[in-house]
Chain A
Amino acid sequence: MKDLENELRKALERREPPAGFAERVLAQLEPAPTPRPGWREALISLVPMPRLRWAAAGVVACLLLTLGALHYRRVAQERAVGEAAKAQVMQALRIASSKLNVTMKKVQETDRRLPPA
């Protein structure tokens, strides 16, 4: 009888839980807050199928390339028109200045030929 009592007492005696036991239990009860998905994850979540993802990425890349090319073409065209306008201005000023000076020179020559008053 005494042995049985001893065994029972030993089995039922109070024991301290191992360190961190309470935290581990609490951690399992409350799941950790999930981090907010980044832009990449959000983008990926828009197209769930991996194959479709590649296709969408391709379409976006093509679109960006087209827009870039169109912008480059527009800038190049504007530059060409501007350069042509500049060349025309220079040519017009060359002619105007040259004709003006020729006229003034003719007047000077005429003045020189006239007898002094």
Chain B
Amino acid sequence: MKIPARVVRLIATLLLACCASIPAFGQNPKLQIKNLDKLSSKAAEVVDVTLDESMLKLASKFMAADKDEDDAEARELIKELKGVYVKSFEFDKEGEYSQEDVSAIRSQLAAPGWTKVVGVQSKHDGDIAEVYLMTDSTTRNVSGLAIIAADSESLTVVNIVGPVDLDKLSSLEGKMGIPRLGMEKEKGKASQKPAASHGEKK
């Protein structure tokens, strides 16, 4: 029995479409950061923020009720987000967290879709500052953000799920109690699309 060429072409197209969608299924901008919970007992100060989409919507409702300018900016930022997760630990002494704790997060950021946009590591004091972006394989839009910031006495992991605007996030400096660092605004940095990775080492 001879299969018509048209049917073969259709099957081949469907197979290709299925194969193309496999990486999209594998991309998950939500990181598993529960492994850091064990550090809570050692930390002097802990910030643990877990906000899923429903909580973000609820918060957005209360921001809408207020006429505060900061609230309006924050509301605009979280409008389309699916989740915001933050774990931040401040320790009284050095060596309270291990490199394995950080590696557990980094290994997830090695998955397809994640791109390291900025990475700074100090050789002197071991400070780490890394920014990762997940981009949608089809639309090329940002679908997730991860920040790892660590020094000898603190560790912070930020994971934002959804189309986050880095420019807007960065521009909150000097507002909502965020200290002004006097950062120079340069074109091409902190932009929506991931730029080439910075693997700078001091």
Measured CB to CB, the residues of A under 8 A from B are 78-79, 81-83, 85-86, 88-108, 110-111
The 10 closest A-B pairs by CB, nearest first: A85-B59, A103-B129, A97-B172, A82-B62, A92-B49, A106-B120, A99-B149, A86-B59, A110-B200, A96-B158
Cα distance A91–B177 in the bound complex, in angstroms: 9
User: Is the beta-carbon distance between A104 and B189 smaller than 8 angstroms?
Assistant: yes
| B47 proximal to A (CB < 8 A) | yes
Name which residue of chain A comes closest to B164, CB basis.
A96
Q: Which residues of A contact B49 (CB under 8 A)?
A: 88, 91-92, 95
Report the minimal beta-carbon distance from B52 to chain A, rounded to whole angstroms: 10
Measured CB to CB, the residues of B under 8 A from A are 47, 49, 51, 55-56, 58-59, 61-63, 70-71, 74, 77-78, 84-86, 88, 118, 120, 127, 129-131, 145, 147, 149, 156, 158, 160, 166, 169-170, 172-173, 176-179, 181, 183-184, 186, 189-190, 198, 200, 202
User: Is the beta-carbon distance between B47 and A91 smaller than 8 angstroms?
Assistant: yes
Q: Which residues of A contact B127 (CB under 8 A)?
A: 106
